[in-house]
Amino acid sequence: MSQHYPTLLVTVPLLAAFIISAAGWINKRLCFPFAVATLTVAAYSCVGLLFRVLHEGVVHYRLGGWPPPWGIAYYVDQLNGLVLSVISVSALINLIASKRSIEREFPEKIGPFYTLYVLFVTGMLGITVTGDAFNLYVLLEIGSLTGYALIAMGDKDRAPLASLNYLYMGTIGACFYLLGVGYLYIVTGSLNMVDIASILPGLYQSKAVMTAFIICMVGMWIKMAFFPLHGWLPNAYTFAPSASSSLIAPLMTKVMIYVMIRFILTVFTPKFAFSTLAVSDSVVWLAVIAIVMGAIFALAQRDLKKMLTYIIVAEVGYMVGGAWLGNRAGMTGAILHIVNDALMTLCAFLVVGNIVYKVKGYSFEDLKGLFSKMPFTMGAFVIGALSIIGVPPTCGFFSKWYLISGAIQASHYGFVVALLFSSLVNVVLFFRIIEIGYYEPFGDHHGHDHHPEPMAEAPLSMLVPLFIVAAGLVLVGLYTGDIVNHIIQFVIPKGLL
């Protein structure tokens, strides 16, 4: 059983999606337990796989027993073991947390929603686990197509158009990636990542290889919403139903960061990406612009969800910049931030889900008096906010620590300033929200007759998952040392100092 974990975590959700769809025809109430069971199996396999990798080293799995480069091979090392666990666990938590809001927002479409939900997770897990460049494209499109549909189920006025714009951009991104893979195939005759990696070193001076790399990168940047290719993201995530945005926002961009790091570290070599190409400095400057612009756009927003989406744009800048600093600390920070940012974003969007469930809105106007109305939700929000700002001991601080360290070591002070600037802007952003929730509506002078609004907290099924995530933010922060020492340091090649 345990030797089949790599395939289980893709095939089980894939097949279960059909079963859930069928179950939806019989009785809508069957869908949720099926989905939970599926994702539990997936999460169990992922975490089991991570532990196996930690004990035994890299796990190879050949689909159908075909040896590479002919068959599709799955490789699981520490990097994707970690990312897989994050994906499956956060998808599971979100599934449980969003049950009530799904029943409220589209009771007639529960079956299709859970089908898409599980398919989306299949796509994300598949992208992460596969060791085949073309297979990655297919799974990417599975994830994206279901993502478009999940987003389009939101706000009736705005979501379809936002989703269609996302679809245009997403398709361009995926096509660019496919094109790059085509060039790699021309040069190497292989689609297997490890195989390509063994053939490429002799060909690094070839223009086709450089083109392939850059085209692939551009494709990924579109998919991960790297500024200035981020145009699709804010509207798509804002107008999506809360269950979808809290699923897609933490996962999609982070998975694409993972793919980018995988290409830099495994398919190509850090030496090629950072030295031969000589573009890394420009990419880090792009990341600086991404961070600064993301922060400024976030400041301009008047509703919570859209503000968070621009923060995601800035956070993508953190990770891209960290990965391209070209040193060990920066890369560690980027990988660590994949985990941390997924959790932080999940926490923030779950809070939005709770607020929407009770208040039916997420503009700043709707947030008045929330601290007395929903103290527990807002408590979790504060923890998430502190993590995004980067206050110890939450995990956001520690990835920022590595990122800034990396920037100092690379003498890239622009990136240091951008990270600090974004932290400060985040303080403003989140305390603005906290102020609205805490002070308004104003009582009379001195607040002696401050009548707090009666408590109307979200149901326990939404609160408990939220608390788990919030506690996770602190725990991951405290265990940063272990994560870096036992997982991340094995991922980064020894040559990268």
Could you tell me which residues come within 8 angstroms of residue 161 by beta carbon, excluding any fewer than 6 positions away?
235
Binding residue for another protein, selected from 269, 280, 301, 480, defined by CB under 8 A: 480
Binding residue for another protein, selected from 21, 80, 163, 345, defined by CB under 8 A: 163
- DSSP code, position 268: S
Is residue 156 packed enough to be buried (19+ CB in 10 Å), middle (13-18) or exposed (0-12)?
exposed
Asked if residue 64 binds another protein (CB under 8 A), the reply is no
Minimum gap (Å) between residue 9 Cβ and another protein: 21
Contact 234, 129 (CB under 8 A): no
Q: What are phi and psi of 236, to 5 degrees?
A: -60, -45
Buried b / exposed e along 420-443 (16+ C-beta atoms within 10 A): ebbbebbbebbeebbebbeeeeee
CA distance 137 to 384: 33
Binding residue for another protein, selected from 120, 226, 349, 398, defined by CB under 8 A: 398
Minimum gap (Å) between residue 36 Cβ and another protein: 26
Interface with another protein by CB under 8 A: which range of 7-15, 82-90, 148-156, 350-358? 148-156
Contact 10, 129 (CB under 8 A): yes
Interface with another protein by CB under 8 A: which range of 41-49, 83-91, 302-310, 404-412? 404-412
Asked if residue 12 binds another protein (CB under 8 A), the reply is no
According to CB under 8 A, which residues from 405 to 424 bind another protein? 405, 408-409, 416, 420, 423-424
Structure tokens at 152: 């389009």
Binding residue for another protein, selected from 175, 279, 293, 474, defined by CB under 8 A: 175
Asked if residue 484 binds another protein (CB under 8 A), the reply is yes
End-to-end CA distance of the chain: 39
Tell me whether residue 40 or residue 171 sits nearer to another protein (CB atom). Answer: 171
Tell me whether residue 34 or residue 132 sits nearer to another protein (CB atom). Answer: 132
Q: What share of the chain is helix, strand, coil (3-state, %, to 5)?
A: 80, 5, 15
Asked if residue 65 binds another protein (CB under 8 A), the reply is no
Minimum gap (Å) between residue 445 Cβ and another protein: 6
Asked if residue 443 binds another protein (CB under 8 A), the reply is yes
Asked if residue 178 binds another protein (CB under 8 A), the reply is yes
Asked if residue 438 binds another protein (CB under 8 A), the reply is yes
Binding residue for another protein, selected from 283, 404, 418, 458, defined by CB under 8 A: 404
3 state DSSP class of 132: strand
Asked if residue 66 binds another protein (CB under 8 A), the reply is no
Strand partners for 2: none
Asked if residue 379 binds another protein (CB under 8 A), the reply is no
Contact 103, 28 (CB under 8 A): no
Tell me whether residue 178 or residue 496 sits nearer to another protein (CB atom). Answer: 178
**Cα dihedral sign, 311-316-318-321:** negative
Structure tokens at 129: 């686990």
CA distance 230 to 126: 24
Asked if residue 89 binds another protein (CB under 8 A), the reply is no
Asked if residue 376 binds another protein (CB under 8 A), the reply is no
Asked if residue 475 binds another protein (CB under 8 A), the reply is no
**Count of helices and strands (H, E) across the chain:** 22, 2
Asked if residue 182 binds another protein (CB under 8 A), the reply is yes
From the list 399, 387, 376, the residue with the least C-alpha distance to 345 is 387
Minimum gap (Å) between residue 442 Cβ and another protein: 6
CA 328 to chain centroid: 22
Asked if residue 460 binds another protein (CB under 8 A), the reply is no
Asked if residue 478 binds another protein (CB under 8 A), the reply is yes
Q: How many residues bind another protein (CB under 8 A)?
A: 61
Interface with another protein by CB under 8 A: which range of 250-258, 260-268, 292-300, 479-487? 479-487
CA distance 339 to 334: 9
CA distance 32 to 23: 10
Minimum gap (Å) between residue 122 Cβ and another protein: 15
Binding residue for another protein, selected from 138, 199, 293, 474, defined by CB under 8 A: 138
CA dihedral 124→130→134→137, nearest 10 degrees, is 10
3 state DSSP class of 76: strand
Is residue 134 packed enough to be buried (19+ CB in 10 Å), middle (13-18) or exposed (0-12)?
middle
Q: What are phi and psi of 75, to 5 degrees?
A: -115, 135
Interface with another protein by CB under 8 A: which range of 87-95, 152-160, 360-368, 486-494? 152-160
Minimum gap (Å) between residue 449 Cβ and another protein: 8
Asked if residue 160 binds another protein (CB under 8 A), the reply is yes
Asked if residue 157 binds another protein (CB under 8 A), the reply is yes
Residues that bind another protein (CB under 8 A): 134, 137-138, 141, 145, 148-149, 152, 156-158, 160-161, 163-164, 167-168, 171-172, 175, 178-179, 182, 185-186, 191, 386, 389-393, 398, 401, 404-405, 408-409, 416, 420, 423-424, 427, 431, 435, 438-439, 442-448, 450, 452, 478-481, 484
